[in-house]
Each structure stands twice: as structure tokens, then as C-alpha cells.
């Protein structure tokens, strides 16, 4: 299995090279050259009849399925058993998360929460990052190399990256976070590691500004190669791979009478794209709802056929989704355009010039076959948190509440008449947003015991202007990989 660029102008690379590179040299994103079946790669069931394999995946859980995903997508770097071994060790690595668990919790008739926030930094970003940390170590010690990892965060990627990469010998991590746009709990997950290889930098700008600095640093060939730059943002293929795993396990667990629908709180389109990947690899995934807050570029694109950015992102109570430009949209566009990289490149040139493009009609039909989109405002998000708490006793984080609200609480909805299960991705622990949750429900969620000392630890953070050169100077002075 090789990896090709969505812009069609870069040579195909290996799985390991795709993981380390992040962005392809032609500016595109890496995708596998074809979609393998997951169940062909599950350890121990190759001989089982096709009808039994889904049950196997559902029962054997996350590490097992992650191993199969590694075997299927790594082009021979892992096989079914070494993939399983690797995933099991990766998720056992963190004492705070001895075994990766992504439980399905029923909240109503036909409705489930898929709780993805039981990792060390309390968001779904841990699911991927806990695998990426050991994967980087594995690749870098094999090659005897060091890397500089640079990461823009809307709040949760940074904390998950710090937890996964702190103290690692081959890596220096630089996290760029938007000033004033993350919660205290989110920030503390980035600033309290005490690890000398971690630098958290508050940028005087929004997430899109942080992301633009990261993208420009990669585009600066001289800087990128001297710093040995690598990225763990959601464009990193390993994140998509790791996130596809819980769609496989959840869909197989619930799919008695037909496919399982998902509602996904969406910002950079990484998590939602992972659902599409699972579907291409054989998981019984139905429609995927792209649930957005007021930053609704994706919901508008599905509704109108035009992918058009607005001036700046709008601050909301679901800050991890305050994103205007959904980087991974390029991957689904590549699929929707029958993998015509030149066409993707043309549309993104237009996007760079004018801030938007029209999605060709057949591609739009393709998108609507797989995805719906809905934008939810803060008021409805709060009302949903309140209603769910009152009706079921569950506290939702504001992002999860956006997914719950977008999927519609109205019984007119087709899928309820069809009786197909609906899964909301619960992407963060409510205690990551205690003020918002308390305001909506009257209950202040407590941090789990494993991170109860978060507010007792000292913080270390730098502050820089929204300026590429200032960030690059900072990194040059501190990166051990610099040459």
C-alpha cells in the first residue's frame, strides 16, 4: 500500500513517509492508493465466514481493531499480529489509560454516545495521538533521526500531543494555541507537562492564524528541511487511521438491521473523514452528519454546493470547532472528483485566490450520498446540554451537544422511522469545559481523579505575535533537530 497526494503532482510514498511528512510536497494530503478491507486483516479471523467477521470486530475491541487497521493500511510495515501487539502497547503506554476504551453508552431509544474522551487529556484526540507517539518513536529510532513537531491547536490537539510526545527522545514539540480561545483546563493540559522537549506558545490570533503559520512553515522548504519538520494536525494520515477504528467497532456492535448513522462534531473534518474511511474499508456506516457550530463552512458547502470561507472564525462555546478552513475537506473532495488530483489542485488554487469554489455537480451528489450538514448556534447547544441532562442525567461537553442537536431531536427524521441506530461522537469530557457545562445545566462537572492535580501544577508557556518569522526564530533556537 502506497500513499498518493490529493493534488496528483507528488510521487507515491510509503506509509511511514506519509505519516512523517504530513503535507505532500505538491501541497496536497496523502491518501492510500486504494481502500483495503479491514476484516481481511484482523488477526485470527481470516478463515472465518464473512458474516461472522463483524461480530468479531465488535467484540474484540479497540486495540485489536487498531492492529487490523495498521496491518491493512501500512503496506506491510505491520501484519495482523505485529499491528495488534503495537496497538496494545501504544494504548497501554499511558498509565492514565491502561487500555483504550471507547464505550458506547445508550442515552435514548436508538441513540448512543460513543465516549471517546477517556484518554489522558480527556478528548478524542488522545485516541489517535496515543498511537502516533509510539509510531514516531518506532520510525525515528529505526532511522536514527530526530524531528521537530509543530502543531496548531484549537484546544484539544495540543493537550493530546503533549501527553503523547512529552519526554520522547527523538522529538521536540511546539504547540501553537490561539490566545484567549481555549478553556483553562484545555490550556493546562498543554502547559503543565514540565517536559523540556515541549514548548507551548500562545499566538495573538485565532486557530486559523495558528494553522496558517504551521502551513507556511511547511511550505518554507528551507526551514522545513533544516528543522526536520513534522506535523500531528488532523491532516496527518495516522490520525485518520486511528480514528477510523472506533467507527468500525461501534458500527459492527450496533448494526443488526442495517447501517449505523453517525453525528460528528466537526471542525477540521478529520474525525468525520475517518468515518468515511471506515465505511470504504467495510464498516456498516450509514450517513455521517457534519455537525458544525456558527463556523459552518462544511454545512454550507453541503447545502449550497459552494465551499466558501468567511472573513474570520466566530468564537463560540464549542471552541475546538472554531475553524473556517476544514483542511481534510480536500481528502473527500479528491474522492468526490473520482481521484482527479489535477482537478483538486485547480479548485484549491481558486480557493487560495478568491476564498471559495463551486463544487462540481457530480461531486456534490457524492458528498450528499455520504454526508449531511447542519449548523447549530450557541443557544441551541446550551438548550441541548440542558435537555439531555434533564432527560437522561448525562452531562455533554458543548461539542458533543452540537452533534446531538444537529442530528435533530425531531421524530420526523427518516432514520428513526427506519429504526436505524444513531451514534453521537462524544469528543470531549464535560469537565474540559466546566463553565459552559455549569451555565447550561446547573451542574459543575468534576475532573476525573487521574487529572485532579491539574490546577496544582505550575504552568510554562511562551507568547508570540501572529508572525511567521517570530515563530520560526523561536523554533530555530530550541529545536534539537535543527541543522
Ligand X SMILES: *Cc1c(COP(=O)(O)O)cnc(C)c1O
Three-class SS state of 203: strand
Site string for ligand X, 99-138 (x = CB under 6 A): ------------------------x-x-------------
C-alpha span between 130 and 78 (Å, rounded): 17
Is 232 a binding residue for ligand X by CB under 6 A? The answer is no
C-alpha span between 158 and 273 (Å, rounded): 20
Three-class SS state of 462: strand
Smallest gap, in angstroms, from Cβ of residue 196 to ligand X? 26
Nearest to 249 by CA among 59, 437, 435: 59
From candidates 268, 280, 287, 295, binder to ligand X by CB under 6 A: 268
Three-class SS state of 409: coil
* 345 to 208, 298, 339, 342, 357: CA distances (angstroms): 21, 19, 11, 5, 12
Q: What is the size of the binding site for ligand X (CB under 6 A)?
A: 17
From candidates 148, 211, 234, 280, binder to ligand X by CB under 6 A: 234
Site string for ligand X, 397-436 (x = CB under 6 A): --x---------------------------xx--------
Residue 80, phi then psi, degrees to nearest 5: -55, -45
Residue whose CB is less far from ligand X, 155 or 421: 155
* Residue 375 backbone class (left: φ over 0; alpha: ψ -120 to 50; beta: rest): beta
Q: From 260-268, 281-289, 405-413, 448-456, give the range in contact with ligand X by CB under 6 A.
A: 260-268
Residue whose CB is less far from ligand X, 374 or 399: 399
Task: Identify residues 19-38 at the interface with ligand X (CB under 6 A).
Answer: none
Is 293 a binding residue for ligand X by CB under 6 A? The answer is no
Does residue 53 contact residue 64 with C-beta atoms inside 8 Å? no
Residue whose CB is less far from ligand X, 77 or 405: 405
Residue whose CB is less far from ligand X, 183 or 199: 183
Smallest gap, in angstroms, from Cβ of residue 358 to ligand X? 23
Is 53 a binding residue for ligand X by CB under 6 A? The answer is no
Does residue 119 contact residue 426 with C-beta atoms inside 8 Å? no
Is 147 a binding residue for ligand X by CB under 6 A? The answer is no
Site string for ligand X, 304-323 (x = CB under 6 A): ----------------xx--
Is 158 a binding residue for ligand X by CB under 6 A? The answer is no
Three-class SS state of 168: coil
Side-chain half-sphere CA neighbours of 393 within 13 A: 2
Smallest gap, in angstroms, from Cβ of residue 273 to ligand X? 8
Is 275 a binding residue for ligand X by CB under 6 A? The answer is no
Smallest gap, in angstroms, from Cβ of residue 389 to ligand X? 18
Nearest to 409 by CA among 385, 445, 378: 385
From candidates 27, 67, 265, 373, binder to ligand X by CB under 6 A: 265
Smallest gap, in angstroms, from Cβ of residue 320 to ligand X? 3
Through-space distance between the first and last CA atoms of the chain, rounded to whole angstroms: 32
125 among known catalytic residues: yes
Three-class SS state of 145: coil
Sort strands 111-115 and 104-108 into parallel, antiparallel or unpaired: antiparallel
> Could you list the active site residues?
125
**Which residue ranges make up the site for ligand X (CB under 6 A)?**
123, 125, 156, 234, 265-272, 320-321, 399, 427-428
Amino acid at each position: 500500500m502506497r500513499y498518493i497526494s490529493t493534488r496528483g503532482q507528488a510521487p507515491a510514498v510509503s506509509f511511514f513517509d506519509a505519516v512523517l511528512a504530513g503535507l505532500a510536497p505538491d501541497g496536497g494530503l496523502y491518501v492510500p492508493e486504494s481502500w483495503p478491507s479491514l476484516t481481511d486483516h484482523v488477526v485470527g479471523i481470516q478463515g472465518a465466514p464473512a458474516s461472522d467477521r463483524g461480530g468479531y470486530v465488535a467484540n474484540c475491541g479497540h486495540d485489536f481493531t487498531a492492529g487490523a487497521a495498521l496491518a491493512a493500511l501500512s503496506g506491510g510495515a505491520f501484519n495482523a499480529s505485529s499491528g495488534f501487539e503495537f496497538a496494545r502497547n501504544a494504548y497501554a503506554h499511558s498509565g492514565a489509560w491502561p487500555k483504550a476504551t471507547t464505550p458506547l453508552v445508550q442515552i435514548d431509544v436508538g441513540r448512543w454516545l460513543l465516549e471517546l474522551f477517556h484518554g489522558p487529556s480527556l478528548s478524542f484526540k488522545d485516541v489517535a495521538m496515543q498511537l502516533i507517539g509510539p509510531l514516531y518513536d518506532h520510525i525515528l529510532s529505526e532511522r536514527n533521526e530526530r524531528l521537530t513537531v509543530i502543531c496548531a491547536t484549537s484546544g484539544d490537539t495540543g493537550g493530546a500531543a503533549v501527553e503523547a510526545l512529552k519526554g520522547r527522545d527523538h522529538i521536540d514539540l511546539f504547540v501553537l494555541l490561539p490566545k484567549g480561545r481555549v478553556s483553562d483546563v484545555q490550556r493546562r493540559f498543554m502547559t503543565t507537562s514540565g517536559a523540556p522537549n515541549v514548548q507551548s506558545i500562545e499566538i495573538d490570533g485565532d486557530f486559523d492564524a495558528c494553522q496558517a503559520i504551521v502551513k507556511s512553515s511547511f511550505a518554507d522548504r528551507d526551514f522545513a528541511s533544516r528543522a526536520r519538520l513534522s506535523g500531528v494536525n488532523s491532516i496527518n494520515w495516522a490520525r485518520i487511521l486511528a480514528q477510523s477504528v472506533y467507527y468500525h467497532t461501534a458500527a459492527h456492535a450496533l448494526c443488526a438491521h442495517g447501517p449505523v448513522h453517525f453525528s460528528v462534531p466537526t471542525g477540521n473534518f478529520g474525525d468525520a473523514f475517518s468515518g468515511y474511511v471506515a465505511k470504504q474499508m467495510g464498516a456498516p456506516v450509514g450517513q455521517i452528519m457534519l455537525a458544525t457550530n456558527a463556523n459552518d463552512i462544511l454545512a454550507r458547502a453541503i447545502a449550497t454546493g459552494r465551499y466558501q470561507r468567511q472573513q474570520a472564525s466566530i468564537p463560540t462555546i464549542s471552541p475546538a470547532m472554531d475553524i473556517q478552513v476544514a483542511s481534510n475537506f480536500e481528502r473527500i473532495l479528491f474522492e468526490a472528483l473520482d481521484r482527479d488530483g489535477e482537478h483538486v489542485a485547480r479548485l484549491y488554487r481558486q480557493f487560495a485566490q478568491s476564498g471559495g469554489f463551486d463544487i462540481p455537480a457530480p461531486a456534490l451528489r457524492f458528498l450528499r450520498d455520504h454526508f449531511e450538514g447542519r449548523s447549530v448556534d450557541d443557544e441551541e447547544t446550551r438548550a441541548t446540554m440542558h435537555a439531555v441532562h434533564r432527560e437522561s442525567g448525562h452531562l455533554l461537553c458543548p461539542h458533543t451537544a452540537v452533534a446531538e442537536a444537529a442530528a435533530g431531536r425531531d421524530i420526523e427524521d427518516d432514520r428513526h422511522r427506519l429504526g436505524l441506530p444513531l451514534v453521537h461522537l462524544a469528543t470531549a469530557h464535560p469537565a474540559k469545559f466546566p463553565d459552559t457545562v455549569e451555565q447550561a445545566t446547573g451542574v459543575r462537572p468534576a475532573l476525573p481523579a487521574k487529572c485532579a492535580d491539574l490546577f496544582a501544577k505550575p504552568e510554562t508557556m511562551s507568547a508570540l505575535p501572529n508572525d511567521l518569522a517570530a515563530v520560526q526564530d523561536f523554533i530555530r533556537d530550541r529545536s534539537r533537530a535543527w541543522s
